[in-house]
Amino acid sequence: MIWESLGSVALGLALSWAALRSLAGRLPSRRTVFATGALGALFGAYLTHSVLGPGHALATLIGAVLIGAVTLSLLLRPGSRRLSRSAAA
């Protein structure tokens, strides 16, 4: 379980780094993004490990990445483009 935890935190940090590189303008501060990615992946590993049980290290890491990505997606702000209203509205 310790290696799964460390691996999930490392994957969460890598996911946060990738999100900051591609969506820097739509995310809050770097510190918040890295903390959210690491904690989201750690929670994902805990949840997946609780559901599947021991002996499923790869599935636990996949679950950690998926839940970490969902947690990071909650930090995204809307884009800067404005929506145009239709004439009927």
pTM of the model: 0.84
The pLDDT assigned to 29 comes to: 93
pLDDT of residue 85: 65
CB 56: neighbour CB atoms within 10 A? 15
What pLDDT score does 78 carry? 83
Residues in the chain, total: 89
What is the reported pLDDT for 86? 62
Q: Which of 84, 47, 77, 80 is nearest to 62 (CA)?
A: 47
Could you tell me the mean pLDDT of each successive run of 10 residues in the chain, 89 residues long?
Answer: 92 96 92 96 96 93 96 88 62
pLDDT of residue 84: 61
Residue 73's pLDDT is 94
Q: φ, ψ for residue 18 (rounded to 5)?
A: -65, -40
CA 30/CA 61 separation, integer angstroms: 23
Which token pair is 35? 């903390």
